[in-house]
Amino acid sequence: MNSRTNTPSPKKVLIFGSAMHVWSDLFFALLVPLLPHIKEELNLSYTSIGLLRSVYSGSSAILQIPAGLVAESTGEFWMLLGGNIWVGLGLIVMAVVPGFLPLIGATALGGLGGGTQHPLASSMVSRAYDSAGRSTAVGTVNFSGDIGKMIAPIVAGLLVMLGGWRATMWIVGAAGSAFMCFSVFTRRHFDLGKPLIEHSPEKWDRKDSDKTSTIVGFIVLTGIGILDSATRSSTLVFFPFIFIERGMGESEVGVALFLLFAGGAAGKYICGWLDDRTGTLPLIWATKGMTTALIISAIFVPSFVLWPLAIILGVGLNGTSSVLYATVAKFIPTNKRARYYGLFYTTNEIGTVGAPLGYGLIADMIGLNRSVIIMGVVTATILPASLALKRYLTVS
For position 236, what pLDDT does the model report?
Answer: 86
Helix, strand, coil tally for the chain in percent (to 5): 85, 0, 15
Nearest to 265 by CA among 17, 81, 18, 91: 18
What's the mean pLDDT in 294-320?
Answer: 93
What's the mean pLDDT in 310-330?
Answer: 89
In which region does residue 97 sit, left (phi positive, over 0), alpha (psi from -120 to 50) or beta (all else)? beta
Q: Which of 101-110, 144-153, 307-316 shows the lowest mean pLDDT across its residues? A: 144-153
What's the mean pLDDT in 168-191?
Answer: 92
Packing angle between helix 64-74 and helix 77-96, nearest 10 degrees?
140
Q: Is the pLDDT of residue 199 over 60?
A: no
What's the mean pLDDT in 29-51?
Answer: 90
For position 209, what pLDDT does the model report?
Answer: 53
CA distance between the termini of the chain: 20
Contacts of 349 (CB under 8 A, 6+ apart): 57, 58, 60, 61, 64, 229
What is this structure's pTM? Answer: 0.72
Nearest to 180 by CA among 63, 20, 67: 20
CATH code for the domain defined by 10-395: 1.20.1250.20
Q: For residue range 238-273, list pLDDT tens digits in order.
A: 988 899 988 888 788 888 988 998 898 889 888 888
AA identity, residue 365: M
AA identity, residue 171: I
- Greater pLDDT, 349 or 228: 228
Q: Is 198 helix (H, G, I), strand (E, B) or coil?
A: coil
Confidence band (pLDDT; 50, 70, 90) for 295? Answer: very high
Q: Is the pLDDT of residue 387 over 70?
A: yes
Q: Is the pLDDT of residue 23 over 80?
A: yes
Nearest to 221 by CA among 379, 352, 63, 393: 393
User: What backbone phi and psi angles, to 5 degrees, belong to 9?
Assistant: -70, 155
For position 371, what pLDDT does the model report?
Answer: 94
In which region does residue 199 sit, left (phi positive, over 0), alpha (psi from -120 to 50) or beta (all else)? beta
Contact 72, 194 (CB under 8 A): yes
Percentage of the residues of the chain whose pLDDT score is greater than 70: 93
- DSSP states of 229-265 as a string? HHHHHHHHHHHHHHHHHTT--HHHHHHHHHHHHHHHH
For position 320, what pLDDT does the model report?
Answer: 92
Q: For residue range 46-66, list pLDDT tens digits in order.
A: 889 888 988 998 888 888 888
Contact 159, 140 (CB under 8 A): no
Number of Cβ atoms within 10 Å of the Cβ of 40: 10
Confidence band (pLDDT; 50, 70, 90) for 195? Answer: low
Contacts of 35 (CB under 8 A, 6+ apart): 49, 52, 53, 237, 240
Cα(153)–Cα(230) distance, rounded to whole angstroms?
A: 21
Confidence band (pLDDT; 50, 70, 90) for 196? Answer: low
Q: Which of 3-17, 95-109, 258-272, 282-296 shows the lowest mean pLDDT across its residues? A: 3-17
For position 1, what pLDDT does the model report?
Answer: 46
User: What backbone phi and psi angles, to 5 degrees, belong to 80?
Assistant: -65, -45
Q: For residue range 343-380, list pLDDT tens digits in order.
A: 888 888 888 888 988 998 999 999 999 999 999 999 99
Cα(23)–Cα(76) distance, rounded to whole angstroms?
A: 16
